[in-house]
Each structure stands twice: as structure tokens, then as C-alpha cells.
Chain A
Amino acid sequence: MSGNNKARKVIEINGLNKWFGQFHVLKDINLTVREREIYVVCGPSGSGKSTLIRCINQLEHHQEGDILVDGVEVEKGGKNQTLIRRKTGMVFQQFNLFPHLTVLENCTLTPTLGLQTPKKDAEELAMKHLNRVGIADQALKYPLQLSGGQQQRVAIARSLCTQPKIMLFDEPTSALDPEMIKEVLDVMIELAEDGMTMICVTHEMGFARQVADKVVFMDQGEIVESNTPAEFFADPRFDRTQQFLAHIL
């Protein structure tokens, strides 16, 4: 939502390289995301999109390069991963809600346990965010009693309850039935408009057009190009990008 080059850098990645065994999955990645910016990452399956955002919150450990989250350097081998993870929120393709806890308990678990917020405050916060994603009336249900779209919205609320500096989305709508995609995207758009900093791996190009500041195209572990949505869609510079766009649009 802002091309402001003076805003604080929330994510700064320089020369990131990662291997799975001998397989070079991320190659010389550079990426800077400033406060309130929305980045959409797209690319063919297996190009390393998930791995990239999972390196940011250290679900995967990287071997080379620097990652700074909210000004804090991510130490290699996950030494300060808890600190980093509290600054980031992540939403998964498969929701990954805790099925043995109610929606409300899913949201209050981390605040009460990890951050030692008193239970009453944690519940208030949870209700606020559940309200925001439009699911406050289901707070006492268990996740498996909800539809996929509702579950994904709960997952977003659960992440918001840890008050992250940046939200990472990994194909949040790919596991959803078509009629539920919109309700999740609407929540994400609203979040974007409220000024949340986000990196979204998604192939929802409508969403990218509407809210993204930058669209990043990845292939074979590299960032091929990165541009504003207007230019990215109207005038992709690389043949690989053109092929990809021809494929999904």
C-alpha cells in the first residue's frame, strides 16, 4: 500500500542460500519488505516459495546469507528461533489448527502459555481477532466442526493473537473449495488495508492486483523478477515469467 522507501524494514534478506542435502533449493535470494508492504510470491510448484518463507521464521534453517526480522538477525541453526517466531505469524495451506482445542483455546494457547498473558486478557484479545475475521460466534466450537474457509480464518486469527510484526501466508487458499476462497481473501485484503505487513505465497492473481505492492516470481530456487503488480502483469520481462503467467491466467 505504500512505496515509501523510508519505512522501517521488517524483513531483510541478503544472499540467502539453502540446500536440502545436495539439492540447492534457494539461490542468492535478496528481498526487503518494509512496514505495511504486501509482497505476493508466485512461481511453479517446487520453485522454493514455501522454503523461502519458512526460512524467515526458521521452520527451515538456512546455510548461507543473512536474514533480519524486525531488525533482529536470525542466527543460523535456530538459536534465536523462538524470538523470531514471536515476531512472525504464519498461515498454512492445511490450516493446522489444534483439533483438540476449541477455536477460542486455539487462539489463547500461545498468549497464555508462551507470552504469559493473563487468561482474561488473552480471551479478550482472541475475541477481538475472531471478530475481525468474522468468526466470533463459533468461538466455542472445535475446528473440525467448521468449514475449510472458517478454519483458515481461525488460523489467521490465531496468528494475529501473537501480535506479529509480519504475516507469512503459504498458499492459504489452495486447499479450499472455490466458494470459500473469497471469504479468506476478503479477510486478507482487510488485514492488508489495516496496514499489516505480509508476504503471501499465492496464485490468486486478483488478490495480487488488488493489494500487492510487489509481485515476486520465483523459479528453480531463484527470484526471477520482482515488480509492481501493474508492470508485472502488463509487461513481464522474462520469458519464463510470461510462460508462467500464460499458464495460470
Chain B
Amino acid sequence: MTLVFEPKANRPAPTNTVGFVGWLRQNLFKDIPNTLMTILGLYLTITVVGWVLNWALFNAVWDASSRRECLDLVGRSGACWPGVVEWLPNMIYGLYPKDQVWRINLGFLALIVWLVPLWMGGVKSKVAIGLSVVAFYPFLASYFFLGGDKGPIWTALVALGLWGLVWVWSTALCERRTGLSIGTWLAQRFADADNDIAQKRVRQAAALLLFVVCVGLVSQWSLSEVRTQFWGGLFLTLVISGIGITFSLPAGILLALGRRSDMPAIAMLSTLFIELFRSVPLITILFMFNTMLPLFMPAGTEVNQLLRAIVAVCLFAAAYMAEIVRGGLQAIPKGQYEAASALGLGFWQTTTQVVMPQALKIMIPTIVGNFIGLFKDTTLVSIIGLFDLMNMARAVGEDSDWLGLFIEPFFVVSLIYFVFCFAMSSYSIGLERKLSAGRDR
């Protein structure tokens, strides 16, 4: 006689913790050492938080005209905020002319507006939008920030920046409504469905038309020049680290590929560059670029100090990123390369479509960690005399009214850094979750 196998019905998994109290018992008060640690931790947390709150809020002075007044009121038991409040515009914008500060705000607003479609549902061209930020936004931003006369080339580049922004939003909105990018939509609207050449023409014509309009608009703009000597504060920090971060990823990818290249010359040069910049502290590189670069340049060429710092930061960051990317590339199994080769894909096709997407996904936490490190490392530019956020904070305590006021501005600076770094890190965790959703075993 044959027996019939009947699988058992599924049961829910047993809950290993019963309610909140159970969780507490299990995790915080399991045995005596554990309980003692919990109590000690709790005590320390409450003391420290209490102390900070007392200092920063309850005992703090909000209204005074000099540090003397603050000290007379509460001594050292409370923070003296008026000095920080007075200096806050400088800590954010540096010595940028007050009546021109709107340009900085507008520049960063443009960036945010540019990025918003990345978070909108129904938008498909997210990679293109992300790339457009890197490719076009810098022109727009540098004109807002720098201003000054613009020749025909500069006008064209700034117009390209504006063009990018308009394209991003029209594509985003068009994709939300019709599912097609703006170019495809226009092409289908104004050209025959099967006439590829006509479709291409329509796309080109639309792009050109938009560009001409942008040039027209941009040539009407006229912003006074603000030289980089006046740049400072959080603004300068964001500019330096923003450029460093944006440059370091593509440059790092190229260097990492170069180091693994079959061509000995390329491999050697990449390795040399990477090892050179990785074995020297950033501060040394900054000094070298700041003091030695002008010596090697032909007499009379003036390289802007900010530019020198930015170049130094970029090269340093690229070398570090290269090693991170190389680590990610090593994690990709050989079979992936072989499968791509066997299918007849070339080196760049394999790299961009098969290897990099997988490697970058694994590397997100490390890359963002590196971005955060770079963001914080830019404080070192204060040493070569740039007035970044850090240096501006120090300047508060050197103002004759607020002589010696250091803790409060540094407290605020720490908060600002914390907010930015925490945001980056949370974003990376979110991104990781999203990318791995549904793709893992």
C-alpha cells in the first residue's frame, strides 16, 4: 500500500520576547553586571544631556552686546548666544557682500530644485537626472556665486546649466504624466512613429530651441563679481566638499580601472598616483599646493588660492576613492566578467552595465563614509588661510566685542556638521535598503 505524504501546515514563528517588559528583562536587566551597566549608562546619559541643556538653553544668555555682559549675567554656567547670532551670517556666508547673499541662496535652491525629481514617483530617467546635476549644475552655480563679466563661451556654458535644469523638470513632469521622456514625447508628437531620422531631428530641434532661449535669458543676467577672497563660512565648506565629492567618484572610478588595466603604462601611472596621494596627509598636500604650486607656474600666472585648495582636495579624495572602488571591483566574481565576455560585450559595456552597477551598490556605505570624511576634512583648508566654517567660528572669539567666545561658535559648528553628516549617512542607509529590496536571496 502506498502512503500519502501530507505536508504539515505552517505555524507562525514563536515570539522570543514577551512585550516591552520582556524585552527590557532580556536586554537590559539580564543579570547583575548587565543591570549595573544599564544603570551606569542611564546615569551618564542623563547627567551629560542635563548639563548640555542647562548650558545651552536654561542658563543661556540671549540678549547682550558683549561677552563681558554675558559673563556678568551668568558667568560660565550658561552659553552666550548673542555673539554667535551676530556672527551667524558670516559663519554661513563668509564675507560675501550682504546685498548679494541671495545669490548663494538661489544657487543652493537651484540645486535642491534640480534634485527633487530624484525623489518623485513615476520618474524613470533618474540616472540621467543625477548625471545632469554633475554635468550642468556647476556652470549655473559658478555664475551665481562668482558673477562678473561673461564672454560668449561663459554665456553659453551658463545657458547650458539653465538648459539642464529646464530639461530635468520637463522630463520629470512629462514622465509622470505620459511615461515618456520629454524628448521621446516631442518626437512622437511631431514626427512619424517609424521615421527614426525625423524623430531625431525633432529632438535636436527642441534641444537647440531651448538652448537658444536659455542663451537669450542668460545674456540678460548681469551679476556683479564677487571674488573668491570674500567667500567663506558654511558656503565655502559646501563648495569645496561638494566639488571634491563630485569629482572624486568619477575620478576614483577611472583610477581604479586604470590600476587594474592590462596596459602596463596606465596601470603603473594610476598606481603611482594613488599611492603618492594616499601616503601623504591631506594637510601636507594642501600646503604643497598652496606654497609650491605658484613656484612651478610660469611667472605672472596667478592661480586663485581657493582653486589651489580645491585641486588639492580633489586629487586627494580621488586617490582614496580609487582604492574603495578597487575593493568593490574585487568583490565582483570572475564569472560576471566571463559571462559578459562570452556574450560579446566589450570592456566599457561590461564595466558600465555589468560590473560597476554591482560594485557601486556594494560600496555605497564605504563611499558615503568617505564623503562624510571628506566633508569634515575640508576644515583643514582653514590652515592655509581660507575662511571656511571652522575658521569663521574661530574668528568670533577674536572679535573685540566677543573676545574669547569659542565654545559657543564651535558648538554650533559641531551641530551643523552633525546635521549634514547624519543626513548623508541616513540617506545612504535608505538607499542601500532600496537598492537591495527584492534583489537578494
Contact = CB atoms under 8 A, between A and B. Distances in A.
Interface of A: 57, 59, 81-82, 85-86, 88-90, 92, 94, 96-100, 109-110, 113-114, 142, 144-145, 155, 158-159, 162
By secondary structure, the A interface counts as mixed
Given A97-B339, A113-B349, A145-B438, A82 B344 contact: yes
A57 B341 CA distance: 9
Interface string B418-441: 000000000000000000001111
A162 B346 contact: no
A155 B340 CA distance: 12
Given A90-B342, A162-B344, 14 more contacts: A59-B341, A86-B344, A88-B342, A90-B339, A92-B342, A96-B335, A98-B336, A98-B340, A109-B343, A110-B343, A110-B344, A114-B346, A142-B439, A159-B342
A158 to B, nearest CB: 7
Contacts, number: 68
Contacts of A114: 343-346, 349
A92 B335 contact: yes
27 contacts: A57-B342, A59-B341, A85-B342, A85-B343, A85-B344, A86-B344, A89-B342, A90-B339, A92-B339, A92-B342, A94-B333, A98-B336, A98-B358, A100-B358, A100-B439, A109-B343, A110-B343, A110-B344, A114-B343, A114-B346, A142-B438, A144-B439, A144-B441, A158-B343, A159-B342, A159-B343, A162-B343
B74 to A, nearest CB: 59
Contacts of B343: 85, 89, 109-110, 114, 158-159, 162
Contacts of B341: 59, 81, 85
Nearest to A158: B343
Interface string B282-316: 00000000000000000000000000000000000
A57 B439 CA distance: 30
Main secondary structure of the interface of B (DSSP, over half): helix
A82 B441 contact: no
The 9 A-B pairs at the shortest CB distance, nearest first, are namely A96-B339, A96-B335, A90-B342, A85-B344, A86-B344, A110-B343, A142-B439, A144-B441, A100-B357
Interface of B: 333, 335-336, 338-346, 349, 353-354, 357-358, 361, 438-441
Contacts of B338: 59, 92, 96
Given A99-B358, A99-B439, A144-B439, A110 B336 contact: no
Contacts of B353: 109, 113
Given A109-B353, A113-B353, A98 B339 contact: yes
Contacts of A90: 339, 342
Nearest to B360: A100
Nearest to A143: B439
B275 to A, nearest CB: 28
A11 to B, nearest CB: 15
Contacts of B340: 98
A100 B344 contact: no
B348 to A, nearest CB: 10
Q: Name, among A88, A90, A99, the residue most crowded by chain B CB atoms within 10 Å (CB to CB).
A: A99
Given A113-B349, A142-B439, A145-B438, A98 B354 contact: yes
A100 B349 contact: no
